[in-house]
Structure 1
Amino acid sequence: MTPLPLAFGGPLFTRALIRSTPDDFQVDELPSFEPTGEGEHLLLEIRKRGANTVHVAKLLAQWAGLPEMAVSFAGMKDRHAVTTQRFSVHLPKRVAPDLALLASDEVHVVSSTWHNRKLQRGALAGNRFKLVLRDVDGDAAAIDARLQQIAERGIPNWFGEQRFGRDGGNVPAALAMFGGRRMRKDQRSLLLSAARSALFNRVLAARVEQGSWDQPIDGEVWMLDGSRSVFGPEPWSEVLAERLARFDIHPSGPLWGVGDLRSSDAARALELGAIDDEQSQALRAGLEAEGLKHERRSLRLRPALLQHQWLQEGVLELSFALPPGCYATAVLHELGPVTDASQ
């Protein structure tokens, strides 16, 4: 895939390693609701190490003696990491097997309680990350300054490489699907998301290269912070400038689908120009044929509670929180090339 541009200048190191051990990549889900304490869905908070979400869901189904569809989770979490996330298990008779049977090197049950609804995908307020980069070959003072810039201005809200599969293979697979290749339902959903994400990243890349990823241009569609609500275009004003400065609103880009773009003028011209190549046109046509509706996504992301410390020379620890659907790799991207040691 085409390398993504940087918002703050060149990379600050020539190399760094992430996931040298699973403990170097820690993620905790931030819950979006409190359990009711009653109902027929057992809500489990699980700390997992070196196991992916689907694998743990299968273990829970086997433990409960239920089909896999009886187990649900809010979000997918990495395998090569230590992560805490919620799962729900539908137990209509409210009889749960012994939780101690789940204990292993991979799985630890942090808490369990009853809830009156199945856990839905996306039912989380965000994720909190603690990452350790090792063998960092760069100037520590410059990295400190870049992280301060990120804390103050935010970063481009890229879709991460996870969305595109190994070696970016999901986009070619989406094109093949649009060309008639049969795919399973779960594969189709994954590939539709990859196609939309690729188009969004191309628009965002054009805004980064223009220097307007966090600045207004004519015809802008604005997104409210912390929501999917949008408004505009409307004339630039002191009120909009104040809201943009305090991160109450953000410029947005298209998640492609059926219908007309909401943006106008310079914003619309840039969006259409960024996705006018042959591959982008094929992705656009495929998404429209699938009946997806136009949506928007914020171009700007500000990591919350961003902190860092040097554990020793060449070893950098970062901690921050991100909203749902945002990627820690977008933060790392603004520092320099990071190699995934788990690969």
Structure 2
Amino acid sequence: MGEAAMDSIAWPPAWPRVLDAEFGAPPAGDYRARPEDFQVAEVLDFAPEGEGEHLWLHIEKRDLTTAMAVRELARLCEVSPRDVGYSGMKDRVAVTRQWLSVQLPGREAPAGLTEALAERGVRVLSEARHPRKLKRGVHRANRFRLRLSGAALEDPALEARWQRLVAQGVANYFGPQRFGPDGRNLLRARSLLARGWRKRDDRDGMLLSAARSFLFNEGLAERVRDGSWNRLLPGEVAILDGTASQFTLVAPDAELEARAARLDLHPSGVLWGVGRSVAEGEARALEARLAERYPSLCDGLERAGVRLGRRALRLRLGEPRLTRGEGELWLAFSLPRGAFATAVLRELIAHPTL
């Protein structure tokens, strides 16, 4: 798909699934009939120190976006939303647990804050003080517990699909929620980048993120189609599982290929921006094809000054578990920050939002 086709594309795009070649397209299913069917818990590697000018709250929210919870906390504490910190954005139609921080130098939290938040769907699980604001992206992972329903539960290959994902990993697509309803964030991003990105038009960088995520998904889709999404190509930039460590492989040897098969190493794709890619050979040629297909997106991101980055093409499922009950099925697993549970679900069920 080229840039001219974006205006009329059915959303989400038909980015290929990994398991279709072996099992065929998955049957229809549902995964969020009610908020309790989609449970997420944010995992931090540290705890608040117990003192400082920032009050940290471990919350559970239901049927609210993170932005809604942030605004409500800011209103009740009579501070600007900019004084409220969070690490990750969590889904609305879900029951999610995460940390928020609010800057309250020299004063206590307002009386009745916990009760007032509870009335608005935010339950405070614990609280503690900390010297610093909670920053974006500092959590290590998210734990998911998801209930599936529908015809997919009768699929005799469902457990085999799941076991294949556990064994070989999951294609690390950005989820459709990154692009907004019907991909409108991407269309807005293309328009903004064409005339020149300005922060006042995209204060939280949502549109920049949509453009970069789309380009990444397009590159990943090409590698799913040619079967190289889980293999190390000559010139590949490999990412060590569970870390940000990366290195370029001129010619992968048998040992490195074995590590990739064990999910210790993952091939990576480019997150477009300013800077020279360290990919070489075949991997670099894939990136060049992206620039040829989407020149205005790539050029616009570079003019906007966003820094080039990389993202693993594959995910390892942490602590995977499948449990069947009467007329229902629960999946449990953890994913590193920035990964989407929808990338897992689209391999198991067919749903309009996947």
- Name the TM-score, length of structure 1 as normaliser: 0.93
Aligned to 1:36: 49
Residues 51 and 80, structure 1, Cα contact 8 Å, conserved in 2: yes
Structure 1: distance between partners of 2:82 and 2:133: 11
Report if the CA contact (8 A) 1:19-1:340 is conserved: no
1:169 Cα deviation (Å)? Answer: 1.1
- Alignment correspondent of 1:85: 98
Of residues 205-214 and 303-312 in structure 1, the stretch that sits farther from structure 2 once superposed is: 303-312
Q: Distance in 1 between matches of 2:352 and 2:33?
A: 10
The aligned runs of 1:238-317 (5 Å cut-off) are: 238-277=254-293, 280-313=294-327, 315-317=328-330
What amino acid is the match of 2:341?
A: A
User: Secondary structure of the residue that 2:249 maps to in structure 1?
Assistant: coil
Amino acid corresponding to residue 261 of structure 2 in structure 1: A
The farther-off stretch of 173-182 and 327-336 is 173-182
1:148 and 2:159 are equivalent in the alignment: no
Superposition deviation, residue 243 in structure 1: 2.4
Equivalent residue in structure 2 for 1:219, among 226, 235, 247: 235
* Alpha carbons of structure 1 residues 101 and 274: separation in structure 2 relative to 1, 3 Å: closer
Q: How does 1:25-64 map to 2 (within 5 A)?
A: 25-64=38-77
**SS of corresponding position for 1:232:** strand
Determine helix, strand or coil for the equivalent of 1:308.
strand
Q: Secondary structure at the match of 2:270?
A: strand
Equivalent position of 2:149 in the other structure: 134
* Residue equivalent to 1:175: 190
Residue 3 of structure 2: aligned partner? none
CA distance, structure 2, for counterparts of residue 171 and residue 35 of structure 1: 37
Q: Aligned to 2:47, what secondary structure does the other structure show?
A: coil
- Range that drifts further, 94-103 or 127-136: 94-103
Q: Percent identity?
A: 42
Residues 1:103 and 2:114 are matched in the alignment? no
After superposition, the C-alpha distances for 1:4-29 in whole angstroms (9 at most, x for unaligned) are: 10112255543111221110111111
Give, in whole Å, the separation in 1 of the partners of 2:274 and 2:82. 31
Contact 2:26 2:348 in 1 (8 A): yes
Query: Shift in Å at residue 79 of structure 1?
Result: 1.2
Q: 1:105 to 1:60 in 2, by over 3 A?
A: closer
In the alignment, what sits opposite 2:6? none
Indicate which of 6, 27, 30 corresponds to 2:17.
6
Shift of 1:310: 2.3
Counting only pairs closer than 5 Å after superposition, residues 198-237 of structure 1 correspond to structure 2 as 198-237=214-253
Conservation of the 8 A alpha-carbon contact between 2:65 and 2:92: yes
Distance in 2 separating the partners of 1:105 and 1:61: 13
**2:245 is matched by which residue type in structure 1?**
S
Residue 24 of structure 1, aligned match among 15, 37, 43: 37
Report the Cα offset of residue 245 of structure 1.
2.7
Q: Is the 8 A contact 1:252 1:298 kept in 2?
A: yes
The alignment partner of 1:19 has SS state of coil
CA distance in 2, matches of 1:274, 1:257: 13
Q: Distance in 2 between matches of 1:172 and 1:103?
A: 37
User: Does structure 2 retain, via aligned residues, the 8 Å contact 1:51–1:79?
Assistant: yes
Does residue 1:120 correspond to 2:135, yes or no? yes
**Contact 1:13–1:336, Cα closer than 8 Å, also in 2:** yes
In 2, Cα distance between the equivalents of 1:275 and 1:139? Answer: 43
For 1:138 and 1:218, the matched residues in 2 are separated by 41
Gaps of 5+ in 2: 1-10
What SS is found at the alignment partner of 2:19? coil
Match of 1:296, SS? strand
Contact 1:47/1:107 (8 A) holds in 2: yes
Deviation at 1:172, TM superposition (A): 1.2
Structure 1 residue runs of 5 or longer lacking an equivalent are none
Structure 2 distance, partners of 1:252, 1:189, is: 23
**Is residue 42–residue 88 contact of structure 1 (8 Å, CA) maintained in 2?**
yes
RMSD: 1.9
Could you tell me which amino acid in structure 2 is paired with residue 89 of structure 1?
A: V
2:78 corresponds to which residue?
65
Letter in 2 for 1:179: A
- The count of corresponding residues between Structure 1 and Structure 2 is 338
Q: How far apart, in 1, do the equivalents of 2:159 and 2:207 lie?
A: 37
Measured against aligned partners, the alpha-carbon deviations of 1:315-343 in whole angstroms (never above 9, x if no partner) come to 221111100000000001111312469xx
1:329 corresponds to 2:345:
no
C-alpha distance in 2 between matches for 1:271 and 1:183? 27
The separation in 2 between residues aligned to 1:261 and 1:318, in whole angstroms, is 37
Deviations 1:229-288 (A, max 9, x none): 2111322223312322332221011111123322111112223224522xx111001011
Question: Which whole-Å CA distance do the structure 1 matches of 2:246 and 2:25 have between them?
Answer: 35
Cα pair 1:42 1:113 within 8 Å, conserved = yes
